[in-house]
A and B are shown apart, each in its own frame.
Chain A
Amino acid sequence: ETGVTQTPRHLVMGMTNKKSLKCEQHLGHNAMYWYKQSAKKPLELMFVYNFKEQTENNSVPSRFSPECPNSSHLFLHLHTLQPEDSALYLCASSHDGSGNTIYFGEGSWLTVV
């Protein structure tokens, strides 16, 4: 138990669906992250929120839309995804965005059919 909880753990969606991934952290951290992990590739940083403000958007397609309503919750809204978007999506948090130890959730396995 890392203190970062992701739901759902597994998601299968069609290319025309709209779904959301949810992340919640109980660590009192101020920075939260979404990462994408594809097979045999390094983790790819997608979004960073620091004190609820988005500070990083690594050229992520607009079909991925993050939302950070407060410093404990982070969402990733998904719509009109492509099969190549199938991957493990990992949420993480840290005390702030300056590189302290990062705590990861268990990840959400996404399959786009």
Chain B
Amino acid sequence: KNEVEQSPQNLTAQEGEFITINCSYSVGISALHWLQQHPGGGIVSLFMLSSGKKKHGRLIATINIQEKHSSLHITASHPRDSAVYICAVLMDSNYQLIWGAGTKLIIKP
């Protein structure tokens, strides 16, 4: 079992839908990252959070430390949101990043 599990692995939705991507982890962490990878390969950091909730535009990230779970939400989804969304956790023991396998999101017009 991976230390960081993302679900779903693949998600296809219609433009305008509310999207939720989940990340569960099994190690002690000091922070969790959400990143976005477009088909060209480049990765962009979306959020780094250690508690509560952060919002940036149509993106919202939440984390529940007790339940070892985080969610990334996209409101009013758009085809340009199509990408792979990756969760990574920063271990509190050695500052190593453990990566999830990613969720491939396709938003259809």
A37 CB to nearest B CB, Å: 8
Query: Chain A nearest CB: distance from B94 CB in Å?
Result: 10
Chain A residues with CB below 8 A from B31, complex form: 99
Interface size on B, residues (CB 8 A): 23
Contact A104:B42 (CB < 8 A) given known A41-B101, A43-B86, A99-B31 = yes
Give the complex CA separation of A98 and B30 in angstroms. 10
The majority secondary structure among interface residues of chain A is loop
Sorting the interface of chain A by its residue count into under 10, 10 to 19, 20 to 34 or 35 or more gives: 20 to 34
Q: Are A99 and B30 in contact (CB under 8 A)?
A: yes
Query: Could you list 9 further interchain pairs (A-B, Cβ under 8 angstroms) beyond the known A42-B101, A104-B45?
Result: A2-B42, A43-B99, A97-B95, A104-B35, A104-B42, A104-B44, A105-B42, A106-B40, A106-B42
